[in-house]
Amino acid sequence: MNGMNEKFHGVVPAVATPFGDGERLDTGRLRELIDDYIACGVDGISVAGSQGEFFSLDYDEHVRLLETTMDAVAGRVPVYAGTGGVTTRGSIRLTQVAQSLQVDLALLITPYFVQPTQDELAEHFTAVARATELPVMLYNNPPRTGVNVQPSTLVRCMAAPNVVGVKDSSGDITQTVEYLLASGRRALVFSGRDTIFQSLMMHGGHGTISPAANVFPKLVVAQYRAARAGDWAEAGRIHDIMAPLREAWALGSFPVVIKEAMRLVGRDAGLPRRPIAGLSSDRLAKLKAVCERIGAEEARL
């Protein structure tokens, strides 16, 4: 692997932002979660992404989240910081703050609510990349933003030397593989959907920024290690163990199911900010049964 691949790879939990009483940011709990994930063998920490409810944070909270993360990680693994937003101006501002805090990589979601063209997307990402010395990774999540980054647009963005690749949460494995093949300077490609993680690894992908790793980090790490070793039977076995959790995301509105699952396994991060509410008792019981079955498997590792 080249230098970038050695630094940015593997299992990176898409860390859920903990909220306490009154929906306040719980930085103490964030530190505990980060220590726990690193002890479980993860290869990086990602904060202020979709699972981290970046869209619910005001500017000061966003900065405090990054500051706390950098202090808690203390250089043990790379930090991937969500710094994207609706406007280029706002994205540059947060990315420059992240650079001042010495995060390792800026993760830029596509502008949302607005509907930029591919030309506008390329100009947006390139402008942010030019405003920072950080490695920049595009974050494609069309189910949430309504905007898709085409492989040819990634190639255009990678004309900026610090644009290193893409996290793809589209769920379209064909497009995800096209990201790997599209550019002369090979892109780093991470899955943002746990359902395509194994398939992406088989095609030469670099890792996962994983929602499921919030709940069962040891299993996701074991799946990655098996895949890297070419033990596809073991990787597939773990994939199948985790499948019911991925199916359970449909039990509630994003991102409540992951937070409820975290609480059930002892990694409580509170509930999402309103208007998203906790699960009903019957749905919570279904999720608990899923978590207990998977937890029993993780305990055997």
Nearest to 88 by CA among 113, 42, 125, 133: 125
Please state whether the peptide bond connecting residue 151 to the residue before it is cis, i.e. omega within 30 degrees of 0. no
Choosing from 37, 80, 112, 139, the catalytic residue is 139
Which residue(s) pair with 168 in the sheet? 140, 191
Q: Kindly name the residue from 37, 80, 112, 167 that is annotated as catalytic.
A: 167
Q: What is d(CA 18, CA 24) in angstroms, rounded to the nearest whole number?
A: 8
How far is residue 155's CA from residue 183's CA, in Å, rounded to a whole number?
5
Nearest one of 254, 278, 243 to 264, comparing CA atoms: 278
- Please check if 92 is assigned to a binding site: no
For residues 268 and 19, give the distance between their C-alpha atoms in angstroms, rounded to a whole number.
9
Q: From CA 207, how far away is CA 82, in angstroms rounded? A: 17
| Annotation says 167 is catalytic | yes
Within 13 Å of residue 57, how many CA atoms lie on the same side as its CB?
27
- How many Å separate Cα 142 from the centre of its chain? 14
Q: Which residues are annotated as a binding site for pyruvate?
A: 209
- The residues assigned a catalytic role are 139, 167
Query: Residues annotated as binding site?
Result: 209
